[in-house]
Each structure stands twice: as structure tokens, then as C-alpha cells.
């Protein structure tokens, strides 16, 4: 019997299928984390309704979760060469969004071949399977091609969904899990034995490296997927898979824009030009100033910004200060800044003006609101 980094005691799956509605980003972010269904969550995938989580404990099981609450809605045994018998080692999952899952299996001892299965999301049918030239690690699907990583190294093989090789590249990472982001067209990679979550291009170029929610234990990290624009990050929490106590894993939910990243994301924020009035009329010939409210949110604290970095339509903020106040009545403290009207760069025909700046931690942000130029 070979050793993996994610193995523990028997987990008995549940039965049943439930289709779930899409959840909003606010619902997902508000959770912070949900419990993993087992002790060794190894991979995750989201099909637009259901969160699938594979577990490397006992008879290997793939669970179906409500992504908003973490409630287990059903499960089935993972595929192996013998069928859906749970006698395998599913290390990661990917969804095609049309009722099928790709399951990458570690395979055997180091130096042996991993296996990729294409199955239905109910766990009843194997449509296709193929070998990869290394132990199967993480897997991602971009809608056309599969990206399969080496469990023991940094190589990523690109194939079509039938397993025909297209190309390969080195990522410089050891992926525990991967997911393709259809918006940025980049791949998120969670590292096996450190807290880094990285964005890479589909040919392996590092775009951004971020700090994840927690340092992994000796069993490493589990997997990563996206629910809307939120990252779901699984961690194996059990300190020792062969000795009690057996500690359930955790699935952290994070807005990637709030992570500590290098280079940092530009954080989208909300502003309100001339609070309390609409439309936001600005006379460029005025000798007065324009107030702009920088609004706090669940992911942004307007009181924790570096005012020296703030610019609105090309103008820096005046020295006029204001005590933080709840401008929009949402219970969060906002900041009202003032800008000299004559210093604003608002060409004829402008219908929107933007405010930019950085937080005191150096994270850049940007927010825009409508304007109407008047004489």
C-alpha cells in the first residue's frame, strides 16, 4: 500500500440528489468557511448548482454539498477500474458544467500512471478514462481542454477531454488543486504544502501569488474551486490520518480580491459623488469643491485608506477632513472626501468619474459613479 498525503478513517456516504439554486456572492462571502464532509477533502468542483467534494478516507467518496451552507445533500463512491466502488484515490475534481465530472486519481506508487475518469455527476456511469504519465494530482477544465498536474512535481499536461495529449509545461508549483477562471482566463493553483494560492496562465506563467487563509498541516491542502467569483479552498485538518482524534476538514470561502497578493488586485469599491443628490451635476467652471463619499462594504473599510494616494478625476483630495460617518445607512462607516472642482479632469461628454487610491496595506482600489456636466 502506497502513501498519500490525505488518508484517514472510513466515511459512509449518504444517498439522494437535490438540485440547488445559484447562491449570491454575498451569501458565499458571509459564510467565511463551511465544514468539509470528511476528514481528508482532496478535491472540489462546482457545476453551477452543487459543490462536489472528494474525500480520501476509508472507501473514497464524492459528496454533494449545498455551497451556501455546507449541508451534505448526497454522495456516491468514487470510480476505480472496478467501477464505483470507492477503492481508488480521487485527488481532484473538475466539472464541465453540463452534468459531467472529471476525476483525477493518484494511481499507484511514485512512478506509476494516474487515471482520469469522465463520469456523470450522479456517480452511475463512466463515459471515458485515460492514463497520464505520472501520478494524477490536480485537474482543471477550461471548457475545451483538461489540465492535469503531476502529484509529485510541477509538470502540467494539457489534453482534450478524451485524453489525447496536446502539450505540457512546468508550473514551478506543486499543485494540490486547480480551477480555471472563465472570467480572467487564468488558472488558480493551490499549493500542496504552503499557504500560497497562485494565478498562472494556461501555459504556466505566474501572474500573481497570494496568501491563503491558513498554513497547511502535515497532510497538506485539499483543493480549490470557484463558486461565482469566490474561491472555495479545502484544507485537510486532521493532524494524523492514522491516529485519533480525527478532525474534519474545512472549506474556506474567500473573495480573491481581499487576499494579500503580489502583485495586488485592484479592489473594486463603491463611491457616491455629491452624496444625497442625483443626478451628480458638476459645473467645471465652479470655484467650489465636489464631495465624494468612499463607501465601506463587507470587504472594504473606507476608514483604512491612505488618503495621500487618493485621486478623483485627476485631482488630489483637499485637506478638508470629515469624521467617518454612515453615508448610505448600511451600518458601516464611510469617508467623505472633497476635491477642488477646478482641478478635475472632466472633458466635454464625460458621463462617469472615478476615484482611485490604496489602502494603508498598499492594496489599490477603484470606484466610479455617474456625473452630469453642466454650465
Residues 223, 316 within the same domain? no
Q: Are 25 and 228 in contact (CB under 8 A)?
A: yes
Residue 31 and residue 124 share a domain: yes
In this structure, the number of other CB atoms found within 10 A of the CB of residue 165 comes to 13
Strand, coil or helix: 27: helix
Helix (H) or strand (E) holding 308: strand 305-312
Q: Are 342 and 280 in contact, with CB atoms under 8 Å apart?
A: no
Q: What is the DSSP letter of 14?
A: P
Q: Based on C-alpha coordinates, what's the Rg of the chain?
A: 24
CATH code: domain of residue 89: 2.120.10.30
- Count: domains in the chain: 2
C-beta separation of 146 from 102 below 8 A: yes
Short-list 18, 118, 141, 22, CA closest to 74: 18
Query: Are 79 and 135 within one domain?
Result: yes
Per-residue pLDDT of the chain (375 residues; tens, 9 = 90+): 223 333 222 233 333 333 333 333 333 333 489 999 988 899 999 999 999 999 988 899 999 999 999 999 999 999 999 999 999 999 999 999 999 999 999 987 777 799 999 999 999 999 999 999 999 999 999 999 999 999 999 999 999 999 999 999 999 999 999 999 999 999 999 987 788 899 999 999 999 999 988 766 655 667 999 999 999 998 876 555 555 556 678 899 998 988 889 998 898 999 999 999 999 999 988 889 999 999 999 889 999 999 999 999 999 999 777 789 999 999 999 999 999 999 999 999 999 999 999 999 888 999 999 999 998
Quick one: how far is CA 202 from the chain centroid?
A: 17
Residue-range definition of the domain harbouring residue 298 = 267-374
Q: Does 66 reside within a domain?
A: yes
Instruction: Classify each residue of 42-60 as buried b or exposed e, where b means 16 or more C-beta atoms within 10 Å of its C-beta.
Output: bbbbbbebbbbbbbbbbeb
Predicted TM-score (pTM) of this structure: 0.74
Cβ partners under 8 Å of residue 124, min gap 6: 76, 84
Q: Are residues 281 and 367 in the same domain?
A: yes
Residue 19, in any domain of the structure? no
How many angstroms separate the CA atoms of 289 and 102, rounded? Answer: 58
Amino acid at each position: 500500500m502506497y502513501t498519500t498525503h490525505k488518508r484517514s478513517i472510513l466515511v459512509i456516504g449518504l444517498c439522494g440528489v437535490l438540485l440547488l439554486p445559484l447562491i449570491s456572492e454575498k451569501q458565499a462571502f458571509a459564510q467565511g468557511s463551511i465544514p468539509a464532509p470528511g476528514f481528508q477533502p482532496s478535491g472540489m468542483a462546482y457545476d453551477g448548482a452543487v459543490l462536489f467534494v472528494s474525500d480520501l478516507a476509508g472507501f473514497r467518496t464524492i459528496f454533494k454539498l449545498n455551497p451556501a451552507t455546507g449541508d451534505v445533500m448526497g454522495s456516491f463512491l468514487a470510480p476505480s477500474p472496478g467501477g464505483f466502488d470507492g477503492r481508488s484515490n480521487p485527488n481532484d475534481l473538475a466539472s464541465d458544467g453540463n452534468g459531467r465530472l472529471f476525476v483525477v486519481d493518484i494511481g499507484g506508487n511514485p512512478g506509476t500512471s494516474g487515471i482520469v475518469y469522465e463520469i456523470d455527476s450522479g456517480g452511475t456511469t463512466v463515459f471515458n478514462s485515460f492514463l497520464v504519465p505520472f501520478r494524477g494530482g490536480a485537474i482543471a477544465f477550461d471548457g475545451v481542454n483538461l489540465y492535469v498536474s503531476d502529484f509529485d512535481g510541477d509538470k502540467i499536461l494539457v489534453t482534450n477531454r478524451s485524453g489525447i495529449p496536446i502539450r505540457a509545461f512546468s508550473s514551478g508549483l506543486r499543485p494540490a488543486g486547480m480551477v480555471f477562471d472563465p472570467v480572467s482566463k487564468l488558472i488558480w493553483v493551490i499549493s500542496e504544502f504552503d499557504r500560497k494560492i497562485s494565478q498562472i496562465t494556461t501555459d504556466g506563467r505566474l501572474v500573481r501569488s497570494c496568501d491563503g487563509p491558513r498554513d497547511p498541516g502535515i497532510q497538506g491542502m485539499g483543493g480549490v474551486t470557484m463558486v461565482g467569483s469566490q474561491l472555495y479552498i479545502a484544507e485537510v485538518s486532521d493532524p494524523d490520518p492514522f491516529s485519533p482524534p480525527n478532525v474534519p476538514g474545512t472549506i474556506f470561502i474567500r473573495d480573491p480580491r481581499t487576499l494579500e497578493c503580489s502583485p495586488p488586485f485592484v479592489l473594486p469599491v463603491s463611491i457616491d459623488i455629491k452624496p444625497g443628490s442625483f443626478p451628480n451635476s458638476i459645473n467645471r467652471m465652479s470655484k467650489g469643491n465636489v464631495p465624494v463619499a468612499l463607501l465601506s462594504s463587507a470587504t472594504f473599510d473606507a476608514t483604512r485608506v491612505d488618503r495621500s494616494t487618493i485621486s478623483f478625476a485627476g485631482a488630489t483630495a483637499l485637506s478638508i477632513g470629515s469624521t467617518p460617518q454612515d453615508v448610505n445607512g448600511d451600518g458601516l462607516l464611510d469617508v467623505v472626501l472633497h476635491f477642488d472642482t477646478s482641478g478635475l479632469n472632466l472633458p466635454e461628454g464625460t458621463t462617469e468619474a472615478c476615484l482611485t487610491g490604496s489602502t494603508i496595506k498598499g492594496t489599490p482600489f477603484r470606484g466610479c459613479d455617474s456625473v452630469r456636466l453642466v454650465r
